[in-house]
Amino acid sequence: MAECAAANVRRAAARRALRPYRPSRTPLLVAFGDLDTFLVAGRSVVANPALAAGKEAVYQVTMAQIDPPSSVQALGQLASRVISVTRRLAPSK
């Protein structure tokens, strides 16, 4: 998406025809910082703070697959990180 946008900025500056954006076939979670998270599905984009929890879950699962918890202590640390993020992302009263 960014490559297409950057190329189209150059093309527009050169007064050339823009290239159409062809979205990915799979949905993407795009994060900018901790809470600015967007779900891009085809030509639709949804933004919601709750998506940050989804992004964090994907990250934690991916990291656990790359470096699986090898002990009860490591599994406890993973659970602690997930709980910490959930509390941070939960709406405050």
- Distance separating alpha carbons of residues 40 and 83, to the nearest angstrom: 26
C-beta of residue 56 within 8 angstroms of C-beta of residue 34: no
Structure tokens at 78: 């993973």
**pLDDT tens digits for 22-77?**
877 888 888 887 668 888 888 889 988 778 877 877 888 888 888 887 888 888 88
Which pLDDT score, from 0 to 100, does residue 13 have?
Answer: 97
Higher pLDDT, 15 or 53: 15
Q: Is the pLDDT of residue 93 over 70?
A: no
Which pLDDT score, from 0 to 100, does residue 14 have?
Answer: 97
Average pLDDT estimate for 74-86: 79
Which pLDDT score, from 0 to 100, does residue 15 have?
Answer: 97
